[in-house]
Structure 1
């Protein structure tokens, strides 16, 4: 519609046909890049695929104009289609939310049968059960060996631990279970007892039965863009790229942080003044509360926040230690008596975090990253948790947009490490976009 309006206002005689051609080209571009496939439709992404598709559309339309000479000038096409990006992103977001709602009610899912050793079955099935950002529900398992998994999913068959002489000894119980349960696909968790030639022969039978087979390697929380598949000497190999730690992407992040912080500080100057007055009038004490936090590489820096607690909050923390509601290293109380009336409002909308924009401007922090920890928390970190310090802490992050204080310590660490390992500019953009909604909703803000 926007393209038709622009073409019409520009006096194009065939505005309607041009708009139809542009819409058809958009559908073709999206379809050719499998955006409408079951595994991609409605799934949350960080906006990067959508932007790439839009750029390809512009290139396709430019080629059409060069080949036929019958399409509007490029500046008209750009003006008419620039609205497509936010509209497409909004439609994708609505589709994603619709799919999540259907999955929560047990609809819009794909029935899966899982094969593997007992311990591996426990790991995969429990992992899938904890999350809803996928389209699979496990309706049955086929353990390899005599051990039983500790799962709610029924055991619908069992394979011998040793490779059988005949492939049908494996395929018969698997196909019988798949047909009985009407599964859409078969997961195989690879392991010592289910790999190489045995797995290959099982795939023959599953594919001939008309069902997809998905092999699950023993890796988690690795973004798809970091994994490449190759074949060497008849072996299938996964190449895992290292996390981004240098190069143009990191330079772009640094520039975006500094420029973004400077712009926000100017735009939000009236908010700073209003909040400062409210803090001063509400309770005695300083306007800003300063703490030493730990940044990238273990370097300490002074972090500033608008004060949301009474002046002697740190002294009272020792008295309240027994009421800590967090199960890990962080100290959180849902109804913390130290928080002032103004402080509750500031925390509800994360306004107390705004002075950290100065930390971003100074290079201590980033706009997006893990939560900046306290030194006494870091002193208790194990070898896994210390990896959180591989990147700059952030003003917002996966922790902020996924529940904040409602998350357990283990969930917080998992989210932070997922970000540390899979960071990219597109991921940052997606988190910033989700932060707006998280702040307005206020879940877990206390």
Structure 2
């Protein structure tokens, strides 16, 4: 919190110097804004242990708190006619917010480094049946980062061995829980699934752990619903969980489209020289056009031409049938790590995702969005089963959760799960984080072939 307060004070002080504030009233106003800003960071719980280090909620709360400060200051500025406060709104607050976001990102990088050393914000024991425990281990291993470190496992049924595959100690019997908590140094218990005895067992467990001040974390069965869509409303001691319906239109989609237009237009202008150089390299490397156009399926099943820099030989589509027997992918996807159709230049274009750059034009045209589900081929859509077609409820993206979570290393089921999660739970803040993660993946590619 000290670092947050320092940034806020320095931002307000810098504007005070800029406007050469000498009046005691102006200095008092700037001091009041700084104190309000610090207070709102606390009230908005921007450093909540449940939010810090992982996900976009921490950044979103920073932005929300700053927006409230800006709105309050704007009302005061209009009411008093104080032009110096307007300068603080349009210069000091945006600059301070940018510095706060960079500071939080820097702390997050430090926390992730500590996580790789085996340290985390919370040491947890996972409780439940073996299958539920295995699922939680897999998910936390991929996504928890510095938030949780699993120090022990506890199942109701007898354990197969004393340790799991990754060396985590495994215990049997819920009656041992209070004994192993201090031994393992745990501060939280994750209940991975339903316990024998139902809700009564869960209530009894939480009461037993009160003495050791151990937090109880319950894994929800709503595994693909994001937190902002869930709210709890107690009615006479009965906690009712409300799940908001996903929205596929409305104001936030207008904001998303506006962001697509502005950022794609700027990107096309900035990347024009690079695209020219890449075009020359492709022409020199192999025969054929620079741009490869392919039919893809967009929102509500509408087809469009998706553009890419050509990274394969001209007759790649005809060669595909011959290579089907070597397919390394699962489900409806074709994957081949050492695909003979890829050209020399195409290999490193694909490695760093540079072949995707022309899709920025698709974004500007409105066929795609900067962030969204993977754009599918018509033959894939024709074989969709169950709820997979929900991927088409919003525009496909130039990047997405699939792009920053392993790309070609993902199997079909995991790719579909990520796309469906995004479709129902996306947010502008989340999109900005995915764009940032995409930039990092392009510099350090994983699963790109």
| Structure-2-length-normalised TM-score | 0.84
Name which of structure 1's ranges 303-312 and 350-359 shifts more when overlaid on structure 2: 350-359
Mark the CA change 1:250 to 1:39 in structure 2 (over 3 Å): closer, same or farther.
same
Cα offsets for 1:364-387 (capped at 9, x unmatched)? 222211111222333443324333
SS state of the match for residue 331, structure 1? coil
Say if 2:111 and 2:146, in contact at 8 Å, map to a contact too.
no
* Structure 2 unmatched runs, 5+: 1-9
Match of 1:32 in 2: 43
Match of 1:288 in 2: 291
Instruction: Identify which of 15, 18, 21 aligns with 1:12.
Output: 21
* Residue 308 (structure 1) shift: 1.5
Name which of structure 1's ranges 305-314 and 334-343 shifts more when overlaid on structure 2: 334-343
Instruction: Identify which of 156, 171, 178 aligns with 2:171.
Output: 156
* Residue 394 (structure 1) shift: 0.9
Distance in 1 between the 2:423 and 2:30 partners? 43
Instruction: Identify which of 115, 139, 148 aligns with 1:103.
Output: 115
Name which of structure 1's ranges 370-379 and 406-415 shifts more when overlaid on structure 2: 406-415
* Residue 227 (structure 1) shift: 0.4
Match of 2:260 in 1: 257
Distance in 2 between the 1:51 and 1:44 partners? 14
SS state of the match for residue 38, structure 1? coil
Name which of structure 1's ranges 146-155 and 277-286 shifts more when overlaid on structure 2: 146-155
Mark the CA change 1:256 to 1:130 in structure 2 (over 3 Å): closer, same or farther.
closer
Match of 1:279 in 2: 282
Distance in 1 between the 2:359 and 2:31 partners? 48
Match of 1:346 in 2: 349
Cα offsets for 1:184-212 (capped at 9, x unmatched)? 02223452624333322332221233222
Distance in 2 between the 1:117 and 1:308 partners? 48
CA RMSD in angstroms, aligned pairs only: 3.2
Match of 1:219 in 2: 222
Distance in 2 between the 1:71 and 1:252 partners? 29
Distance in 2 between the 1:207 and 1:66 partners? 51
Match of 1:166 in 2: none
Match of 1:42 in 2: 53
Mark the CA change 1:148 to 1:388 in structure 2 (over 3 Å): closer, same or farther.
farther
SS state of the match for residue 201, structure 1? helix
Distance in 2 between the 1:10 and 1:32 partners? 30
Distance in 2 between the 1:59 and 1:297 partners? 38
Note the 1:91-240 alignment, pairs <5 A: 91-133=103-145, 135-144=147-156, 146=157, 148=159, 152=164, 153-159=168-174, 173-191=176-194, 193-240=196-243
* Residue 419 (structure 1) shift: 0.9
SS state of the match for residue 88, structure 2? helix
SS state of the match for residue 82, structure 1? helix
Mark the CA change 1:414 to 1:341 in structure 2 (over 3 Å): closer, same or farther.
same
Cα offsets for 1:41-92 (capped at 9, x unmatched)? 3334164222112123335656888999999533235422321122111111
Say if 1:293 and 1:302, in contact at 8 Å, map to a contact too.
yes
Cα offsets for 1:189-246 (capped at 9, x unmatched)? 4526243333223322212332222222222132110100112343222111122212
* Residue 183 (structure 1) shift: 1.7
SS state of the match for residue 156, structure 1? strand
Say if 2:195 and 2:202, in contact at 8 Å, map to a contact too.
no
Name which of structure 1's ranges 184-193 and 15-24 shifts more when overlaid on structure 2: 15-24
Distance in 2 between the 1:118 and 1:442 partners? 34
Mark the CA change 1:194 to 1:21 in structure 2 (over 3 Å): closer, same or farther.
farther
Distance in 2 between the 1:103 and 1:22 partners? 36
Say if 2:120 and 2:149, in contact at 8 Å, map to a contact too.
no
SS state of the match for residue 244, structure 1? coil
